[in-house]
């Protein structure tokens, strides 16, 4: 492997200073980064290990009713926090539908947000990839692209963001707290990931040295706890990235939808908030017709980027199903097969 420096800063300020240097990257659990390094996809000069920083591994209930999740909280710890799962069931379900138990035990909240696309051409250093090497071209565009983006892609990049966790988070207006060279700031998660446009190598709104320290869900997010689901269609029952997924959350008042939240996963370079679909659901009865209209709106701008036209129809159906599941109410327990179409199958014991 390429030789690299490894530093373990004692404070967030030290970490930011160390990571602001060219060629430096943050290391948390490394479930994605170390694979990228082994494959020669990522060749950093310096790893800044943040796993020993104090205070970043807590789940805090805020006075305003929100919750603040430290960036080093593991996916498993967050999903299995009973109060968190009860308040944000779609988020917990999404977390438990991702990766494998072993990976969830290691992987962190921050790493999940900042994981890289699983586009095979990004991982294959012999292929051209504008993300990996700006301006080199995109071999995915005319390549094997069955699972690639149908929304927000450009001729320069058709990769998708692979996270499950981010999909309900973005639906619930999550906020990302960032510590940078100029101090602390915060942005909406929806603004963290960028669409590729002409600069697919710029994946996030980050500046050099920026460190996510926490993800916050506002008080309003709890208001959807009674009707919030995540649904993920995949090529095998577990341990697979979404072909398409959706998070749906509803507030029903007097038989009508007071507020709807909808986001799609596996369709774009970012978790895809479907605001136009949310708008058509406001103040209407929660019927299949309404959900189908929402699905049409959500995918109105979708177009295939290759052999993936099926994902558009699949996404529509997932939207309808996710909304139907949400209106039926959050189950008392997260299913044994979280987010799976087979969640209701009895006898399931594996996640």
Partner 1 sequence: MPELNLTSAPAHLRHGSNIGQPLTRRDGVLKVKGQATYAADNHPPGMLFAVMAVASISRGHVTSLDVAAARRHPGVVDVMTSDHKPRLAIDPEIKTNPFVFRMEVLQSNEVRYANQPIAVVIAETLEAATEGAALLAPRYETLPALVGLDAGDSFVPPVVGVGNPTENHRGDVEAGLASAEKRIDAVYETPPQYHNAMEPHAIVAAWDGDNLSVDMPTQGLMLSLARIAELFGIAHDKIHIRSPFLGGGFGSKGLMAGPPVLGIMAAKLVGRPVKLVLRREQMYGPVGHRAPTRQRLRIGTDGDGRLTALDHHARTVSSTFDDFYEPAADASHTLYAAPAIRTSHDAVRVSTGTPLFMRAPGEATGSIALESAIDEMAWACGIDPLAFRLKNYAEVEPITGKPFSSKALRACYEQGAARFGWAKRPLQPRQMRDDAGLLVGWGMGTATFPALMFQAEARAVLRRDGSGAMEIGAHDMGQGAWTALAQIAADELGLDIDRVEFKAGSSDLPDAGIAGGSAHTATAGAAIHSAGAAVIAKLADLATSDERSPLFGAGNAGVIARDGRLIRRDDESRGESYAEILARAGVAEVEARGTGAPNPAAMEEYAMHAHGAVFAEVKVDPELGQVRVTRMVGAFAAGRIVNPRMVQSQLFGGMIWGLSFALHEEAITDRRTGRIMNANLGEYHIPVNADVPPLDVITVEEHDPHVNALGIKGVGEIGVTGSAGAVANAVWHATGVRVRRFPIRIEELLTQP
Residues 64-103 that bind partner 1 (CB under 8 A): 100
Q: Answer for the pair 315, 299: CB distance below 8 angstroms, yes or no.
A: yes
Among 22, 64, 82, 142, binds partner 1 (CB under 8 A): 142
Q: Is there binding between residue 243 and partner 1 (CB under 8 A)?
A: yes
Distance from C-alpha of 217 to C-alpha of 61, rounded to nearest angstrom:
10
**Is residue 344 within the footprint of partner 1 (CB under 8 A)?**
yes
Task: Give dist(CA 119, CA 95) in Å, integer.
Answer: 21
Determine, following the binding rule CB under 8 A, whether residue 348 of this chain makes contact with partner 1: yes
Using CB under 8 A as the binding rule, whether residue 313 contacts partner 1 is answered as yes
Contact flag: residue 60 with partner 1 (CB under 8 A)? no
**Stretch of 57-65, 119-127, 181-189, 280-288 lying at the interface with partner 1 (CB under 8 A):** 119-127
Write the DSSP string, 84-117: HHHHSHHHHHHHHTSS-HHHHHH-BHHHHHHPPP
- Give the number of residues in contact with partner 1, rule: CB under 8 A: 43
Q: Is 200 in the site for partner 1 (CB under 8 A)?
A: no
Give the range of 66-74, 153-161, 182-190, 335-343 binding partner 1 by CB under 8 A: 335-343
Annotate 189-250 with three-state secondary structure: HHHCECCCCCCCCCCECCCCCCEEEEEEECHHHHHHCCCEEEEEECCCCCCCCCCEEEEEEE
Which one among 143, 168, 200, 265 touches partner 1, defined by CB under 8 A?
A: 143
Least CB distance to partner 1 at residue 182 (A): 37
- CA separation for the pair 329, 71 (Å, rounded): 30
Q: Is 293 in the site for partner 1 (CB under 8 A)?
A: no
- Residue 351 touching partner 1 (CB under 8 A): yes
- Considering the rule CB under 8 A, would residue 55 count as an interface residue with partner 1? no
Q: Using CA atoms in the order 239, 248, 107, 128, what is the torsion angle rounded to 10 degrees?
A: 70
CB 298 within 8 A of CB 274: yes
The answer to whether 132 and 122 have CB atoms below 8 angstroms apart is yes
Contact set with partner 1 (CB under 8 A): 1-3, 40, 100, 118, 120-121, 124-127, 139, 142-144, 146, 233-240, 243, 310, 313-314, 317-318, 320-321, 337, 340-342, 344-345, 347-348, 350-351
């Amino acid at each position: 492997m390429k030789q690299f420096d490894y530093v373990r800063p004692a404070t967030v300020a030290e970490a930011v200073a160390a990571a602001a240097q060219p060629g430096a990257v943050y290391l948390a659990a490394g479930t994605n980064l170390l694979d990228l390094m082994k494959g020669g996809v990522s060749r950093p000069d310096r790893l800044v290990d943040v796993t020993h920083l104090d205070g970043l591994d807590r789940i805090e209930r805020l006075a305003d009713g929100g919750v603040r999740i430290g960036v080093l909280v593991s996916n498993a710890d967050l999903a299995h926090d009973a109060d968190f799962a009860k308040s944000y069931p779609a988020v917990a379900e999404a977390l438990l539908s991702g990766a494998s138990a072993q990976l969830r035990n290691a992987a962190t909240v921050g790493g999940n947000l900042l994981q890289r696309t699983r586009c095979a051409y990004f991982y294959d250093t012999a292929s051209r990839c504008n993300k990996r090497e700006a301006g080199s071209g995109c071999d995915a565009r005319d390549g094997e692209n069955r699972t690639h983006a149908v929304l927000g892609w450009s001729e320069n990049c058709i990769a998708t963001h692979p996270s499950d966790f981010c999909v309900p988070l973005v639906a619930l207006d999550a906020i990302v707290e960032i510590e940078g060279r100029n101090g602390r700031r915060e942005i909406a998660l929806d603004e963290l990931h960028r669409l590729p446009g002409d600069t697919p190598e710029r994946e996030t709104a980050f500046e050099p040295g920026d460190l996510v320290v926490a993800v916050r869900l506002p008080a309003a997010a709890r208001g959807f706890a009674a009707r919030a689901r995540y649904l993920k269609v995949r090529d095998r029952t577990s341990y697979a990235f979404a072909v398409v997924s959706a998070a749906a959350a509803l507030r029903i008042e007097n038989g009508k939808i007071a507020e709807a939240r909808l986001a799609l996963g596996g369709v774009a370079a970012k978790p895809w908030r479907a605001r136009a679909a949310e708008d058509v659901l406001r103040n209407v009865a929660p019927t299949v017709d309404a959900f189908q209209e929402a699905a049409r709106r959500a995918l109105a701008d979708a177009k295939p980027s290759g052999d993936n036209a099926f994902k558009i129809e699949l996404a529509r159906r997932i939207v309808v199903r996710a909304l139907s599941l949400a209106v039926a109410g959050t189950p008392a327990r997260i299913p044994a097969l979280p987010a799976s179409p087979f969640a209701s199958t009895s006898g399931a014991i594996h996640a």
